[in-house]
Amino acid sequence: MTVLRRDGAPDHVPWAPLIDGYYMSARPTGMDILDAFREVEADIMERHVWTYRVNMNLPTDPGAVERFMSEGEVTFEVGDIRVHLKMEPHPKGRLLTKTYEIPGRTLTESGLFTAQSPYLPFPVEPLLKTVEDLEAYEYVIKRRRFEPNYESFVQEDERIGDEGIATDSGLTSPIQELLQHAIGIESFYTTFYTDHLPELESLMDAMHESNLAGYELMAASPAEVVVDYENTSTSFISPTIHRKYVSPCINDYADVLHERGKIFLTHRCGLLKALVDAIRDEHDDGVVDISPEPTGDLPLWEAREAWPDKVVLGGFDATYLTNWTPDKIREYAKT
């Protein structure tokens, strides 16, 4: 990947499938993720090897994380914000509830971890439900801080060695974070975007400013490659809204990283055909995990033609691997 982007002359076509928690949940318990890459004879491009920590995510005092893992509950304070985490059994898996208590207001969200998705929870209760919640969350975001976690990243990158690279995980553009997680698609458009746009834009501005601080830390990190998991798709964002609220953020994040020689990739796994022109004009170095039908709508060769100056990676929808025969997969790969 790095050779392809920097020199344009790789010694083979990269084969670096997205292997993370979803895939690993179907492998033998305890299997090393690096062995999962080796098992399918892939170039190792490990995802989600963070170079940073976020002060609002987990407590930093000694033993607090271990206490949460054993007891399923922990409370910690960040200034005048009290954060409470609780993990409890659920008929379909494990339910994680997170609460922010700020002066005069409490924000609560929950997500469900299942056997099929043990690392990324399905949203159950959105964090932001009223216009007053927008202002409260802006208060939280303005107190969010990023701390370096470089040593942990270096250890994993050295473990990979010459077999590949570890990649950092970037911060998602504010509108995508709100659509997919903090608010949800329906409420975002029918309530907040329609009736409370000034308050919504104020929050997104604060989120973007905070994200930039995170990207500055990533730019100074030992990671060569940062992947921003946008999950882009016109199934929940129009080209016009994308150009207005996503493209400027992508460009700012790319510019920060490029100043320090980093490679910036964006994960866009959904419907992209209507966004081809917008994505072409953005400053990221490449688009990864591109999905053809039925998950997406853009074949890899069309993406390559549309974005000649970007790295493109993807082309295999997950349904191909579960529904097609090995011979059919081989023939498709040859095309």
For the segment 216-275, what is each residue's pLDDT rounded down to a tens digit? Answer: 999 999 999 999 999 999 999 999 999 999 999 999 999 999 999 999 999 999 999 999
Mean pLDDT of 268-290: 98
In this structure, which amino acid lies at residue 199? E
Does the pLDDT at position 286 exceed 90? yes
Are 134 and 128 spatial neighbours (Cβ–Cβ below 8 Å)? yes
Q: What percent of the chain has pLDDT over 90?
A: 85
Average pLDDT of the chain is: 94
Mean pLDDT of 296-313: 96
What Cα–Cα distance (Å) separates residue 129 from each residue in 222, 245, 312? 39, 21, 37
CA–CA dist 124, 108 (Å, integer)? 11
Least confident window among 59-63, 83-87, 154-158, 224-228: 59-63
Q: Look at 61 and 309; give whichever has higher pLDDT.
A: 309
CA–CA dist 199, 220 (Å, integer)? 33
Residue 298 has φ and ψ, to the nearest 5°, of -125, 105
In this structure, which amino acid lies at residue 184? G
Instruction: Give the dihedral sign, CA 246/252/256/259.
Output: positive
Are 257 and 219 spatial neighbours (Cβ–Cβ below 8 Å)? yes
Mean pLDDT of 150-165: 97
CA–CA dist 222, 20 (Å, integer)? 21
CB 265: neighbour CB atoms within 10 A? Answer: 26
pLDDT bracket for residue 117 (50, 70, 90): confident
State the distance between the two ends of the chain, measured CA to CA, in whole angstroms.
21
CA–CA dist 52, 214 (Å, integer)? 8
Does the pLDDT at position 24 exceed 70? yes
Give the pLDDT of residue 65.
Answer: 81
Residue ranges per structural domain of the chain: 2-55+144-334
Give the pLDDT of residue 48.
Answer: 96
For the segment 170-220, what is each residue's pLDDT rounded down to a tens digit? Answer: 999 999 999 999 999 999 999 999 999 999 999 999 999 999 999 999 999
Give the pLDDT of residue 256.
Answer: 99
Does the pLDDT at position 4 exceed 70? no
Strand partners, 310: none
CA–CA dist 296, 272 (Å, integer)? 7
Q: What percent of the chain has pLDDT over 70?
A: 97
For the segment 126-143, what is each residue's pLDDT rounded down to a tens digit? Answer: 999 999 999 999 999 999
CA–CA dist 152, 132 (Å, integer)? 38
Least confident window among 113-117, 167-171, 300-304: 113-117
Give the pLDDT of residue 67.
Answer: 86
For the record, the structure tokens of 109 come out as 């969200």
Q: Look at 81 and 5; give whichever has higher pLDDT.
A: 81
Pick the CATH number of 2-55+144-334 from 3.20.20.210, 3.40.190.170, 3.40.50.150, 3.40.50.300: 3.20.20.210
Mean pLDDT of 2-15: 67
What Cα–Cα distance (Å) separates residue 113 from each residue in 4, 91, 94, 125, 232? 36, 11, 5, 13, 23
pLDDT bracket for residue 63 (50, 70, 90): confident
Residue 271 has φ and ψ, to the nearest 5°, of -80, 115
Q: Angle at which helices 197-219 and 131-141 pack, to 10 degrees?
A: 20
Give the pLDDT of residue 268.
Answer: 98
Does the pLDDT at position 1 exceed 60? no
Does the pLDDT at position 5 exceed 80? no
Question: Which residue, 85, 203, 50, 68, is CA-closest to 134?
Answer: 203
Query: For the chain, what's the residue count?
Result: 335
Least confident window among 58-67, 150-159, 166-175, 177-186: 58-67
